[in-house]
Chains A and B, each alone.
Chain A
Amino acid sequence: MLSGKPSVFLLMVNGQIESADFPEFDELYCKYSYVYGHDWAPTTGLEEGISQITSKNRDSNQCFVWNFPMEITFKSTNPFGWPQIVISVYGADLFGNDVVRGYGGVHVPTTPGRHKRTIPMFVPESSSKLQKFTSWLTGRRPEFTDPKVVAQGEGREVTRVLSQGYVTISFNIVTKDLKKLGYDSIPANQTSDNTGF
């Protein structure tokens, strides 16, 4: 169908889910996955991952450290649908049920270099007080049908969410052939020093 090898550009992402800040909870783990457009395909690396359970730091700032590495390479023909990382954080509630503590997502940075992102997290809220109570009782809190919902804007208007916590991720981005294909993602005044953020 296509003549010869199609031209693509590559986006290599590595980094780690460093830490999280959820003041009210303890013993959390997280999952990550990527959401990307039709023109994107992962070539190597893990598309999804699930981290270890970590307990709160005993010191005053009480952050959760996962230092959970991730590495993936995408190839693409179109910057539309640039990959987004979607993180969901889970933890056990009082009765030991696995409960989602936060959803969050962010676009993978578009410029090469090291970037650090802090993602604010949120969870869907129960639609009524009674449901809130029963869900607390049964340990089945409202969840998104798919964590990838947080990477889309469609259909959000029907949900209500509660904001809680932050997750910090660091990315190291390397791109290949992006400029060759006419997409210039590096600002003009920024040449070699790509510390980002």
Chain B
Amino acid sequence: MDYAVQQINRKADEINYEREIQTEVAELLEDYQEEYENKLAEYKKKYEEWKAWRKAKKAKKKKKKSSDEQETDDTEESSMFEEFPKPDPPEQVDVSLVEQQVRTTAARIRRKPGEPVLTPELSMTATVTPTNQCPRGEQLRRQDVQRSTLYAKIIFNNKEVSRTSSQTLSADFRIHFGQIFNVQIINWPESIKIQIFETMGMSSTKTEVFIPIPETTVLTGSALIDEIEFSNAHRITFDHEGVGSGVPFSFEADGSNQMILLTSGKLACSVSWAVREDGVPLIPPVLHENVGVQRSLKHVDAILSIGTSGLTDMKKLARWAAESRLDPNDPSNACLMQLIMSATSGEALDHDYFRLEQLQEEFNFVSDEVFNKSKRFRLLQLRNEEVAEFHNFKQVPILDREISEKIFQEYEKKCHEKDTVDITSHLDPHRALVARFLQKVRDSVKNRFLLAKHHYILSDMVVEEAVPSISMLGISLFKLAEPRRPLRPRRKERKKVTAQNLSDGDIKLLVNIIRAYDVPIRKSIGGKPALTSRSARSINETFSTSQIPQSPTQSHEWFTNQTSVRPFVEVSFQRTVRQTSTAEGQNPNWNEELEIPFRAPNGDYSTASLQSVSDDVFINVFDEVVYDVLEDDRERGSDVHTRVERHWLGAVQVPFSTIYSQSRIDGTFRINTPPVLLGYSKERNLSSERGWEAVRSLSEGSYLSLFITVEPHLVPGEAVNEKLETQEDEKLLQKAEKFQKEVKQKFPNRRCVTLVTDLTGKLVFITRFIKALSPPQELLDAFPQDYEATTELVARYVSLMPFLPDSISFAGICDLWCTSDQFLNLLAGDEEEHAVLLCNYFLAMGKKAWLVIGTAIPEGPTAYVLTYEQNQYVIWNSTTGQYYGQFDAFCPLQSVSCLVSADNVWFNVQKYETVMRVHFDTSKPNLWKPFFSRNFPFPGLSSVQPEELVYRRTDKAAAVELQDKIEKILKEKIMEWRPRHPTRWNRYCTATLRQFLPKLEFSRGGEVGDDHSAELQNQLGDYRISGFPINMSFSELSPIIEAVHSTGVHNTMIPQVEFALAVYVHPYPNNVLSVWIYVASLVRSR
């Protein structure tokens, strides 16, 4: 340590000293003066107050004498006044005294004038003590220092690009690397970092130093070396005298005043942009915006503070800008500020959405305008959206001009119709509305399931054999022993085929016609009209076992007319017709298999498409009548000249949707015979007085046994088990689930229905649908005396509601239940709606009625109505209006699994489920398992049904109008179906038929036929008439046309044939229409 002595000019120093003192004194004096003046002002103010007080005191004293009352107050006041002292004036400050003070202080603390200025200097001249002379601790320390080596890694953009050589630390803790690293960069420089590693033996410590990226002006050669400090909180301890790092130590003997030294140091380096040989600096091109944004982001990192997504959220960005007090005048913030300005000025404030594809616009290959204008793009778009009209559209033309406007016309019309009601296309404005509503529901449901369609399961993709279980192996072993060709073959289960790899012609409908019972037989022409003893019978009579006495004449007729009918069966489906051979007699036996090809709409064989096929299979029974038309008797020996006529006897109608969902239909069906068959009579089988025949013949009508299936075996679409929302109580839901699980275990085949889906897609407990609702008063008043007739009329009214299976209307996904008022509004529904309505009516009429959940042919799972009257149970088919006794062999209801009333659900736990063997006594818990029992009583669920049904009176005039319209259309159609023959209409006959139809409606298809045929015979004596009335409920025109077509009346090829067609529309309340169509062909008999 040295001292540098600076000699100073004494005189100048003294003057300087004196001047400084004087300045200080002057400053002090100024301070004092200011203080004095303040005090003086204060004194003056106080003095004034004092003078005022004195005056007041004197005045008070005078007052005191005048008034004694205020004495006390005044004394109090005066005592206060007396304490006010007279203020003293402030003192002046003495200048000499102040100067004296200043001088003594200066002499104590300041350098005396003339004294030399001393500056301490540190120099490195002393020699370091050689190592061998040091104490042992110091020696160890020095060895340690020598052992430690350092190197640095250069990290550019978080990647190591280069590293220095390893150097040992010199005794003065300094390392000279002296290396230049050239880094050629490709990416934009984001960070440069130098990592310094100190290794000592095996251990190494790392310290990181961040180096700023050089400005573009910093070039090699001109760059200065910066010193950058770094430190490291690493804790290092030594066992020698080195203090280490992060270890507290103290210089004091008692260990107080601890210090902690950390590893720290300085890195001297320079970073600069290289210069090429020709002097061009190798600086990346500067993008102005980039730099601006980057800098502003570097400043106060916006992304860090609000996240990357925040950059797109204007509000957040603006808030951040406000919080971080971004300099709006900084040009580097310009673009940010502009964004924020536009955001906060309110223009962009409504962007309250989040956009996933912000750059979508950039990738659009044409502008939206062009896109919307192009017909081709529109077509492609519609096809992609699987819009029904364009779903399988092939070969979208490549040029816009090749697409005609017509393609869109229909679609646009449909879109348009959604908003406006088109009356002309429908015969009835109400039906149009309903159709539109149904279409809407259908569309929404369909859209939901289009999404579900794209979910695949393994079996959709891969065919894999199921793992055989022990029982399966057992059965297959057992099968080895069974006869190859059993005498009574059984139908085998077939392999199921998924619908996706099918095409036109792959699917066939197999209809196996086995036999028919009680087919109507011909009446002998010219003979006396057969007196059938069938009269309108009451329910009582129908179910009593009383046999109708047969007259001997009839029995005679029966034997003579053994082959009085030659029936054959014709099956028509999608306008393809197949027929069996002709059999003979009243109970014919065909046992023939007919194969009918099936075409899916648009060639789309997906499950959803197949489910929505609304075509029906018509199975018609005809009588083949052969007439001898040989003109010349002489040729009779050699020629045969006959004409074959076919007379329709009845039909069975099975919707394809039923076949598809059931996959097979096997059973005996009642043939829908018209109430009047001209020229035919229904003869009773005489032999039916004994044995089971007696039971069978109890039910009227003809029956047909058949088996229908689809080849190959199609997998019916599975109902999507969506978790639907519900408003039912949680407890009830749990109970329902438990109940269902329990019964499912015992009787897996029986259907247990507790919760059903209503029209809005919510789950509703089934009993809520059952509630007494009164039928239209008009119906009740029709037969005020006859209770049974009223019941039948109500059943007929319900059956006249058009039938529309859910699978067609809602693509087979779920079974939707409408309430009765919705049903009456829609005028379309399936078995459940019909059954619920009928059950509700019966309850209102005071009957004991239940809803029966079970299976029937051909519907499959269905709902019927059960009533209890006069000690017997009656089963009502609500869709046909027919009723059956419990022991009716031809009852279509095959099994009973549930009974539902307004307050409970019973599950059938009996051994048998067929109607005949089931006991309907719900009070026995060992036969019927109740849902609500003693431990879970009925919670009193309110009904979803309305308080009362409101019926609209049907417009009679509208019905007449509709009647004329249908007649006209049908006549046109029949002429259209006979393109090669003239179609003549017999006006006289038509008029007669027209008069007759209302009578039929009145008797509900009852037995007025005989009088009618007699009447016809009288009026049109010289004509041979064959024809029949058809009765349908009215929903749309196309089913009517289809029904008339299926009867094949128009197929008569006899020359000179005349036709008669009459239509009658009977209006029931609430726009329920019963349509009667009478078609007849007349041939003049010579």
Among A127, A145, A156, contact of B500 (Cβ-Cβ < 8 Å): A145
Q: Which residues of B contact A159 (CB under 8 A)?
A: 458, 461-462
The docked-state distance in angstroms from the alpha carbon of A135 to that of B462 is 13
Among B380, B404, B463, B467, contact of A2 (Cβ-Cβ < 8 Å): B404
B498 & A145 in contact (Cβ 8 Å cutoff): yes
Counting chain A residues whose Cβ lies within 8 A of the other chain, the interface size class is 35 or more
Counting chain B residues whose Cβ lies within 8 A of the other chain, the interface size class is 20 to 34
Among A38, A80, A135, contact of B394 (Cβ-Cβ < 8 Å): A38
The docked-state distance in angstroms from the alpha carbon of A155 to that of B775 is 52
Q: Is A39 an interface residue, CB under 8 A from the partner? A: yes
Q: Which residues of B contact A135 (CB under 8 A)?
A: 464-465
A77 & B498 in contact (Cβ 8 Å cutoff): no
Q: Which residues of B contact A144 (CB under 8 A)?
A: 461-463
Among B395, B458, B498, contact of A41 (Cβ-Cβ < 8 Å): B395
In the complex, per-residue mask of B450-469: 1 if CB is within 8 Å of any chain A CB, else 0: 00001011101111110110
The docked-state distance in angstroms from the alpha carbon of A95 to that of B790 is 73
Q: Which residues of B contact A146 (CB under 8 A)?
A: 500-501
Q: Is B664 an interface residue, CB under 8 A from the partner? A: no
A77 & B401 in contact (Cβ 8 Å cutoff): no
Q: Which residues of A contact B399 (CB under 8 A)?
A: 6-7, 181
B397 & A6 in contact (Cβ 8 Å cutoff): yes
Q: Which residues of A contact B407 (CB under 8 A)?
A: 1
The docked-state distance in angstroms from the alpha carbon of A106 to that of B397 is 26
The docked-state distance in angstroms from the alpha carbon of A127 to that of B462 is 10
Q: Is A134 an interface residue, CB under 8 A from the partner? A: yes
Q: Is A143 an interface residue, CB under 8 A from the partner? A: yes
Q: Kindly identify, within residues 426 to 470 of chain B, every residue whose CB is under 8 Å from any CB belonging to chain A.
A: 454, 456-458, 460-465, 467-468
A7 & B397 in contact (Cβ 8 Å cutoff): yes
The docked-state distance in angstroms from the alpha carbon of A148 to that of B395 is 20
Q: Kindly identify, within residues 373 to 403 of chain B, every residue whose CB is under 8 Å from any CB belonging to chain A.
A: 380, 383, 392-399, 401-403
Given contacts A143-B462, A149-B461, contact A41 B394 (CB under 8 A): yes
Q: Is B62 an interface residue, CB under 8 A from the partner? A: no
A6 & B395 in contact (Cβ 8 Å cutoff): yes
A38 & B383 in contact (Cβ 8 Å cutoff): yes
A158 & B395 in contact (Cβ 8 Å cutoff): no
Q: Which residues of A contact B393 (CB under 8 A)?
A: 38
Instruction: State how many angstroms separate the Cβ of A145 from the closest Cβ of chain B.
Output: 6
Given contacts A3-B404, A146-B500, A146-B501, contact A158 B398 (CB under 8 A): no
Question: Which residue of A has the minimal Cβ distance to B459?
Answer: A145
In the complex, per-residue mask of A129-149: 1 if CB is within 8 Å of any chain B CB, else 0: 011001100101011111011
B456 & A155 in contact (Cβ 8 Å cutoff): yes
The docked-state distance in angstroms from the alpha carbon of A126 to that of B468 is 14
Among B395, B454, B463, contact of A39 (Cβ-Cβ < 8 Å): B395
Given contacts A2-B403, A145-B500, contact A7 B464 (CB under 8 A): no
Q: Kindly identify, within residues 151 to 175 of chain A, every residue whose CB is under 8 Å from any CB belonging to chain B.
A: 154-159
B398 & A8 in contact (Cβ 8 Å cutoff): yes
Given contacts A134-B467, A134-B468, contact A38 B462 (CB under 8 A): no
Contacts between chains A and B (CB distance < 8 A), count: 100
Among B392, B398, B456, B467, contact of A154 (Cβ-Cβ < 8 Å): B456
Given contacts A131-B467, A145-B500, A155-B456, contact A124 B462 (CB under 8 A): yes
Q: Which residues of B contact A130 (CB under 8 A)?
A: 467
The docked-state distance in angstroms from the alpha carbon of A144 to that of B461 is 6
Among A41, A145, A146: residue with most chain B CB under 10 A: A145
Q: Which residues of B contact A145 (CB under 8 A)?
A: 460-463, 498, 500-501
The docked-state distance in angstroms from the alpha carbon of A7 to that of B399 is 7
Q: Which residues of A contact B458 (CB under 8 A)?
A: 127, 158-159
The docked-state distance in angstroms from the alpha carbon of A7 to that of B401 is 10
Question: Which residue of A has the minimal Cβ distance to B398?
Answer: A77
The docked-state distance in angstroms from the alpha carbon of A14 to that of B832 is 60
Question: Which residue of A has the minimal Cβ distance to B460?
Answer: A155
Q: Is A78 an interface residue, CB under 8 A from the partner? A: yes
Q: Which residues of B contact A2 (CB under 8 A)?
A: 397, 402-404
Q: Kindly identify, within residues 4 to 49 of chain A, every residue whose CB is under 8 Å from any CB belonging to chain B.
A: 4, 6-9, 38-41
A140 & B395 in contact (Cβ 8 Å cutoff): no
Q: Is B355 an interface residue, CB under 8 A from the partner? A: no
Q: Is B406 an interface residue, CB under 8 A from the partner? A: yes
The docked-state distance in angstroms from the alpha carbon of A123 to that of B498 is 20
A138 & B461 in contact (Cβ 8 Å cutoff): no
A127 & B406 in contact (Cβ 8 Å cutoff): no
Q: Which residues of B contact A78 (CB under 8 A)?
A: 380, 396, 398
Q: Which residues of A contact B406 (CB under 8 A)?
A: 1
Instruction: State how many angstroms separate the Cβ of B627 from the closest Cβ of chain A.
Output: 49
Given contacts A126-B464, A127-B464, contact A39 B396 (CB under 8 A): yes
The docked-state distance in angstroms from the alpha carbon of A182 to that of B393 is 23
The docked-state distance in angstroms from the alpha carbon of A156 to that of B462 is 10
Q: Which residues of A contact B404 (CB under 8 A)?
A: 1-3
Among A2, A41, A135, A146: residue with most chain B CB under 10 A: A2
In the complex, per-residue mask of B856-873: 1 if CB is within 8 Å of any chain A CB, else 0: 000000000000000000
B465 & A158 in contact (Cβ 8 Å cutoff): no
In the complex, per-residue mask of A94-124: 1 if CB is within 8 Å of any chain B CB, else 0: 0000000000000000000000000000001
B462 & A6 in contact (Cβ 8 Å cutoff): no
B457 & A38 in contact (Cβ 8 Å cutoff): no
Among B398, B460, B464, B500, contact of A142 (Cβ-Cβ < 8 Å): B464
A143 & B463 in contact (Cβ 8 Å cutoff): yes
Q: Which residues of B contact A155 (CB under 8 A)?
A: 456, 460-461
In the complex, per-residue mask of B124-146: 1 if CB is within 8 Å of any chain A CB, else 0: 00000000000000000000000
Q: Which residues of B contact A142 (CB under 8 A)?
A: 462-465
Q: Which residues of A contact B456 (CB under 8 A)?
A: 154-155, 157-158
Among A130, A154, A181: residue with most chain B CB under 10 A: A154
B465 & A134 in contact (Cβ 8 Å cutoff): yes
Q: Which residues of A contact B465 (CB under 8 A)?
A: 131, 134-135, 138, 140, 142
B454 & A154 in contact (Cβ 8 Å cutoff): yes
Q: Kindly identify, within residues 43 to 78 of chain A, every residue whose CB is under 8 Å from any CB belonging to chain B.
A: 76-78
The docked-state distance in angstroms from the alpha carbon of A134 to that of B466 is 9
Q: Which residues of A contact B500 (CB under 8 A)?
A: 145-146
Q: Which residues of B contact A134 (CB under 8 A)?
A: 465, 467-468
Given contacts A130-B467, A155-B456, contact A181 B462 (CB under 8 A): no
Question: Which residue of B has the minimal Cβ distance to A2?
Answer: B402
Q: Kindly identify, within residues 457 to 491 of chain B, every residue whose CB is under 8 Å from any CB belonging to chain A.
A: 457-458, 460-465, 467-468
Instruction: State how many angstroms separate the Cβ of A6 from the closest Cβ of chain B.
Output: 5
Question: Which residue of A has the minimal Cβ distance to B497?
Answer: A145
Question: Which residue of A has the minimal Cβ distance to B456?
Answer: A155
B457 & A158 in contact (Cβ 8 Å cutoff): yes
The docked-state distance in angstroms from the alpha carbon of A39 to that of B355 is 33
The docked-state distance in angstroms from the alpha carbon of A73 to that of B462 is 31
Q: Which residues of B contact A76 (CB under 8 A)?
A: 395
Q: Which residues of B contact A7 (CB under 8 A)?
A: 397-399, 402
The docked-state distance in angstroms from the alpha carbon of A179 to that of B324 is 58
The docked-state distance in angstroms from the alpha carbon of A158 to that of B458 is 5
List 11 A-B residue pairs with CB atoms under 8 Å apart, sorted by A's residue number. A1-B404, A2-B397, A2-B402, A6-B397, A8-B398, A41-B395, A128-B467, A134-B468, A135-B465, A138-B465, A145-B460
Chain A to chain B: the 4 pairs with minimum beta-carbon distance, closest first: A155-B456, A77-B398, A142-B464, A146-B501
Residues of B within 8 A of A (CB): 380, 383, 392-399, 401-404, 406-407, 454, 456-458, 460-465, 467-468, 498, 500-501
Sample of 15 more A-B contacts, CB < 8 Å, known A41-B394, A146-B500: A1-B406, A6-B398, A38-B396, A39-B394, A39-B395, A77-B396, A126-B464, A127-B464, A134-B465, A140-B465, A142-B465, A143-B464, A145-B461, A154-B454, A181-B398
